[in-house]
Amino acid sequence: MHKRRWRLAITAIYFTRVLTSLSKKILNKTGPLLRTLSYVTIDVHRLKENSSREKPASYFNVDPKMFSDMVRDKNFESLSQIGGVKDIASILRTEVRDGINGGETDLIQRKIVFGENTYRNPPAKGFLSFLSAAFKDTTIIILLVCAVLSLTFGIKQHGWRDGWYEGGSIILAVIMVVSVSAVSNFRQSRQFDKLSEKSSDIRVEVVRNGRRRPISIFEVVVGDIVYLKIGDRIPADGLFLEGHSLEVDESSMTGEIDLIEIYERSPFMLSGAKVTDGFGFMLVTSVGMNTAWGRMMSSTNRDLKEETPLQARLSKLSSCIGNVGFMVAALVLAVLLIRYFTGNTKDDGGNREFIGTKTMFGDVMNAVVGMIAAAVIIIVVAIPEGLPLALTLTLAYSMKRMMADHALVRKLSACETMGSATTICTDKTGTLTLNEMEVTEFWLGKEALRDYTSFDMANNVLKFLHQAVGLNTGGMIYKPHSASIPEISGSPTEKAILSWAVFSLAMDIEEVKQNYETIHVEAFNSLKKKSGVLVKENGEKTIHTHWKGAAEMILASCSTYYDRAGMRKTIGEEERLQLGTIIKNMAAKSLRCIAFAHKEMAEEDGQILEKLEENGLTFLGLVGLKDPCRLEVKTAVESCRAAGVNIKMITGDNVHTARAIAIECGILNVDENLDHESVVEGVHFRHYSPEERLEKINKIHVMARSTPFDKLLMVQCLKQKGHVVAVTGDGTNDAPALKEADIGLSMGIQGTEVAKESSDIVILDDNFTSVETALRWGRCVYSNIQKFIQFQLTVNTAALIINLVAAIASGKVPLTAVQLLWVNLIMDTLGALALATEKPTNDLMKKPPVGRSEPLITIIMWRNLIAQALYQVTIVLVLHFKGVSIFGVDKKVNSTLIFNSFVLFQVFNEFNARKLEKKNIFTGLLTSKMFLAIIGITIVIQVIMVESLKRFANTQRLDWGQWGACIGLAALSWPIGWLVKFIPVSIED
């Protein structure tokens, strides 16, 4: 009896498929029909389709504003007057089942008439705006005023030919510094704009020319049929065509948190809303600026240039250092003025510069302007405006490289916060595994099918469900034009049970739908771990309930099962125990166990049931699906653990499968982590008391049978425990956990749009290795900033002390305004470019995480910079006071030696800054092409300034011996840096 029923079901499905395919071939034939000797063919026309094509209505005669207002106002009366959704589809030349033609000409015409699905963003700032902003800096304005005064009095005193050099040199130096800064900021702004556009470019599925295809949201046009599922964001305004249990969240538009059910009587769908339940197809009626979301998008466009926590800390540090610079500059100016007006300042000939009323007014003003300029230059050098620039460069460079490494940064703060992460809570499927299911075990009842034919058959069905139909084991997905049901081979019983397995998984296949009426679909439930469908055979009173899902959950609802011979038997205690053991053994092999069950019942008094029966089911069988771990995952996990970052796997699989996968990936150590507290189930975790959770949270490495609420609860507990938490998620229900985490990482392939919008970083390849890469880059950002801070503070400290001591002792500063501006350019822009673009190294992953409350300047950095600053101060002051006698040169050559040595000090110290702790500062130098290029550019410009720009830089040409002396003095900073690193420092844990 049962065998006959199976065969009848297979035969009906097969012949329906054959008839459908034959009819399609005939109807799609455009040429004349051929006759044969045995048959007479009849030319059958598609009356309905032809009649729709002959309608005179055209979308060229449609006012786009009419559709826009109707949907935005949800005017059902206007929709009824037009004739309904299908008539609007006809007006827009859209086939309800096949969508638009999708040809290039058709798409261009639609864009011309209705516009494109893009939004008018505020115009990007041009280069001149950045240049203007740079000139508005207070210190730059003061410096320019001093330069203009110096230029005026110099020309008045010495004439046009010789009087413009000092003031003109300052002006040119300021222009060069400002231009370089403006170019850098302009380029980074353009980079951020590109990243912003990339993060806004989401993918949607549309039906065109009878096929579903993914396209960019910007390519959606009016008339498109868009397929929407849970987690998607509606890309444009439109009308509901068909679907099931569709609910949307319009809170982003209306501010109301109530979910809105979408069906035939309420078909209006607004762009920007999010699908929270069900699935369906939507006809697009308005795009771009004509949508309800359009106006909001243009005014509230997300900006990637927000200030991050580290930028705020750097701004505060810059402010503190700047205040010190102001005080030093004021003190130097006071000392210089007092010495000048008391007659203690002498010129190059040894004569007093100020002789009371005998001194000309122009000379006095020139001297005063020079002193003010020197004080302002000290402020310019002291204020580390390069710190924010260095961070901007580091973030921009890191974001660009992370994109190449499959990690799209949506929020700047995530780059730096990721470097402080102490715990990563990761999904399993697709992240740790390949998400490529393969059947390795197949059971009919209690008997295993071990022949290759059965595996090939099962994998054939699985391949069909994943590729041809687009289904997964999580829920029902509708596809209007599916491929034909695959050929199923094997014994009659195997055919029958596999057919019902296909039926249970793929109830929305077109051929099946022709014979069965879908009454109710229950989507995959994360708590029940199963989903089902209730169908009724056409013309019959028999109702079928089909279930699929986690094996132990399905088994708990079953009271009978089919053996291999097709006989139905009762599941007693012994049989239930045997089946449970089979499931447990399969799970221990890291297999995902999916079971199928069904139930038949007669329709009672013509009443259609509205819910699925979950008990009294008949167990059909189960498959063991192997989802292999990614080959590189174990190495990435070991790298994270070596870096002091805990990895916790949160999965919906049962505890045995979860434990096996965790051991395979390296999250669980067979020797260390197999106690009962390392692996817990979500139901136990959520029933712990708050105190128990906090006590056990550090010991938990795997949480099985978890729900999104369990993941959120774990994140909250970890943060309460003091951890910096990174979380991966892909579903709509993961959004709360992604938002709650310090760093939310959504999946670019499996992830829904809701999950992506709730995250900080999108992992484009769904690979845990990319999560580890993001961690590596986060640490690199922090490390590069520390390198630059050490480098710049060394220059700041040395320059302030040198100028202060020299001014008090001799009444003159060793470095001129132009020379100090050149040093400032080395520190800020060039130094930032050199040190901020260092690539991450393996050494970064051998250190413990850096807490966000840790000081930016560590004891190790203080040790290094104090040693280098003291050496630079000592050498420069010795040259300032004794250089003339030591080298036997005049004062101008000695001043050039001081300037040249000071610049070379910074060049050599950049090498020291590359490695804060390691003694070998040349490790990986050849791979740092940007660093070497910047060093080369700095040296070339320095040689030009000393040898060729004598009047501009106020220098004298040096001979080979003098150049050798400068290089030798600067090179001594390397052995000093090496020796200093032997000094032990205490680092608090």
Strongest mean pLDDT among 65-79, 149-163, 477-491, 513-527: 65-79
Mean of all residue pLDDT scores within the chain? 76
Q: Report all structural domains of the chain as residue ranges with CATH numbers, in order of start.
A: 64-117+220-297 (2.70.150.10), 308-400+775-982 (1.20.1110.10), 407-434+631-766 (3.40.50.1000), 438-477+486-626 (3.40.1110.10)
pLDDT at 483: 42
Percentage of residues of the chain with pLDDT beyond 70:
73
Q: Where are the alpha helices (DSSP H) in 201-265?
A: 251-254
Closest to 889 in 3D by CA, of 966, 798, 952:
966
Q: Which ranges of 282-439 would DSSP assign to H, the alpha helix?
A: 292-299, 309-341, 361-382, 386-404, 412-418
CA–CA gap between residue 560 and residue 445 (Å, rounded): 10
Q: Tens of pLDDT along 173-215?
A: 677 767 766 776 777 677 666 666 666 677 788 989 888 888 8
What residues contact residue 878 under an 8 Å CB cut-off, 6+ apart? 886
Query: Which position has the higher pLDDT, 107 or 304?
Result: 107
In this prediction, residue 872 carries a pLDDT of 94
Catalytic residues, by residue number, are 427
Return d(Cα 844, Cα 842) in angstroms, integer. 5
DSSP 539: T
**In sequence order, what are the beta bridge partners of 593?**
624
What is the rounded distance in angstroms from the CA atom of residue 624 to the CA atom of residue 449? 11
Nearest alpha carbon to residue 761 among 305, 233, 192, 199: 199
Contact (Cβ atoms closer than 8 angstroms) between residue 952 and residue 165 = yes
For position 974, what pLDDT does the model report? Answer: 95
List phi, psi (to 5°) of 354.
-115, 120
Other beta carbons less than 10 A from residue 95's beta carbon: 19
Nearest Cα to Cα of residue 642 among 421, 846, 424, 420: 846
Per DSSP, the chain holds a count of helices (H) and strands (E) of 36, 24
Distance of CA 65 to the CA centre of its chain: 36
**How much of the chain exceeds pLDDT 90, in percent?**
13
Q: What's the 3-state SS for 89-103? A: HHHCCCECCCEECCC
The string of pLDDT tens digits covering residues 620-667 is: 888 787 778 888 888 989 989 888 899 999 988 888 888 888 888 889
pLDDT of amino acid 153? 64
| Among 20-34, 64-78, 358-372, 765-779, the range of highest mean pLDDT | 765-779
* Residue appearing with tokens 């058959």: 457
Closest CA to 637 of 680, 668, 592: 668
Q: 957 in helix, strand or coil?
A: coil
Tell me: the pLDDT tens digits for 364-409? 777 777 777 677 767 766 766 666 667 777 777 787 788 888 888 8
The H or E element spanning position 929 is helix 929-947
Q: What is the pTM of this model?
A: 0.68
pLDDT at 123: 67
pLDDT grade, residue 115 (50/70/90)? confident
- What mean pLDDT comes out for the span 771-776? 88
CA atoms within 13 Å, Cβ hemisphere of 244: 13
pLDDT of residue 874: 94
Helix axes 817-825, 165-200, angle to 10 degrees: 20
Residue 598 clears pLDDT 70, i.e. is over it: yes
Report the C-alpha dihedral over residues 918, 922, 923, 926, rounded to 10 degrees.
160
| Residue 466 DSSP symbol | I
